[in-house]
Amino acid sequence: MTIEQGTEGLAVRLRSGGPGRYVGGLFLALWLCGWAVGETVALWILVRGAWSLLTGVSPGPGRAPLHLGPAVPVGAFLVLWLTLWTVGGVAAIANLLKLLWGEDRIEVASGRLTVTWARGPFRSGRAFERDAIRRIELAGRDDHLSLAMARERVVLSGLGSRSERIAGAGVLRAALGVSEDPPAATAGVPPPWEEIITPEGERALVLSPATRRQQARAAGVGTLLLAASTFTLAWESVRQPGLIVPGCILSALTAGLGAAALWLARGRWEWRLGSGRLTLRRRYGPSVRDVFGAKSLLLERSTDGDGDPWYELAALAQAAPPAPALTAVRWRSAQSKDRRCVARVMNDPATVRELGAWLSRETGLALEDRATPQARAVELAQLRALLEQSGRFGRWAAKLVDRLDPGQRRAG
């Protein structure tokens, strides 16, 4: 990391480093060679097949002309596969450039933060006004240097070592006058959540309606495409009975996607905000039904089968029960009738913590946070004590627990 101090402000520069990046770069370069071959072959098959369908010419020597019925689903699959394959290749190229020639430059001048992301010959940037910046912190599983605003979180840099990003966050906070832990009283509704007024004139918390409309349109377009393919198969199955089974399967998929599109367009789950109460409602069209009433909030940390940490904000029908004696590693349990999940994210607790603080402030419900570094330190201390009392192997395993100590991994 390089810090440049000038007359108008300062700049923090973070670059790719370490010999390990060359190993990753070599692997990506070899993979991209195979990607280019797959991209070329798939494009050639699609072009030859489309030409055969349009002209009636055989796609190759000794082959019969293509029939519309079987060709449509095969072509649709190839288009979908090629789209995903292309996106994966572009992402791999971007990652290769980041590993070998990546540099992030973050400048603070005249009350504004400007970040420039350089990936080889390609550059992009973005500027943020000081008043819009709420936090500068390390977030996510890989502790990326991030900037948090009222409705958005932006990754400023994932380059450099973790200690360099911690130092960079401190320098940027000092230059902008941003506190490390803003007061809970200023917590807002984090994305993708929004506060709305329901048709009954009540305040409610919902997932972003704009995002939901986009999802509904995408599902609707997918339904129309599947319906067209289903109709084509049904028409061809009159002459080719072997297409009846695929047609039935495609019909079921079309019906399922159509039902999902209707739910996205007309239905939703919402949390009604009341004084001392939070109510979960199911709304579909003009009808609405109360499903669950909460009287307290609980933020917990759990671990999935891959060892990834998950943070869940739960609404409880009663006050939060006492924490178990040992919860250093907790697997997600089945949902009970006295508990509902409000939000659940992996690796980064900032979003659910801010959402819980906002709900607690707006409803007056008590929020118990069991995912703080202090709570985690207590849990690990309990685990360490139990291991040390279990014998020689346990004492050896207790030394490994120190690697999980949140005190060793400051949040930046």
What's the confidence (pLDDT) of residue 412? 39
What's the confidence (pLDDT) of residue 28? 95
191, 176 Cβ separation under 8 angstroms = no
SS (H, E, C) the chain: CEEEECCCEEEEEEECCCCHHHHHHHHHHHHHHHHHHHHHHHHHHHHHHHHHHHHCCCCCCCCCCCCHHHHHHHHHHHHHHHHHHHHHHHHHHHHHHHHHHEEEEEEEECCEEEEEEEECCEEEEEEEEHHHCCEEEEECCCCEEEEECCCCEEEEECCCCHHHHHHHHHHHHHHHCCCCCCCHHHCCCCCCEEEEECCCCCEEEEECHHHHHHHHHHHHHHHHHHHHHHHHHHHHHCCCHHHHHHHHHHHHHHHHHHHHHHHHHHEEEEEEEECCEEEEEEEECCEEEEEEEECEEEEEEEECCCCCEEEEEEEECCCCCCCCCCCCCCECCCCCCCEEEEEEEECCCHHHHHHHHHHHHHHCCEEEECCCHHHHHHHHHHHHHHHHCCCHHHHHHHHHHHHHCHHHCCCC
Q: Alpha-carbon distance 303 to 328, whole Å?
A: 9
Q: Alpha-carbon distance 220 to 261, whole Å?
A: 6
What's the confidence (pLDDT) of residue 396? 74
What's the confidence (pLDDT) of residue 31? 96
Q: Alpha-carbon distance 46 to 25, whole Å?
A: 31
Beta strand 203-207 with 267-274 is antiparallel
> pTM, whole model, 2 decimals?
0.67
What's the confidence (pLDDT) of residue 320? 65
Give the domain ranges of the chain: 1-182, 377-408
First and final CA of the chain: distance in angstroms?
16
What's the confidence (pLDDT) of residue 406? 46
206, 193 Cβ separation under 8 angstroms = yes
What's the confidence (pLDDT) of residue 56? 74
Q: Alpha-carbon distance 165 to 111, whole Å?
A: 21
What's the confidence (pLDDT) of residue 335? 58
Q: In a structure prediction context, what are the per-residue pLDDT tens digits for the chain, which is 412 residues long?
A: 888 887 778 999 999 888 888 999 999 999 999 999 999 999 998 888 888 877 777 777 767 677 766 777 788 888 989 999 999 999 999 999 999 999 999 999 988 999 999 999 999 999 999 888 888 988 877 788 999 887 788 999 999 988 999 999 999 999 888 877 655 555 678 888 999 999 999 999 999 899 999 999 999 999 998 898 888 888 878 888 877 888 888 899 999 999 999 999 999 999 999 989 999 999 999 999 999 999 999 998 887 777 678 889 999 988 766 665 554 445 454 557 889 999 998 877 888 888 999 999 999 999 998 887 777 777 777 777 887 777 777 777 777 666 555 444 443 3
Q: Alpha-carbon distance 338 to 317, whole Å?
A: 5
Give the chain's length: 412
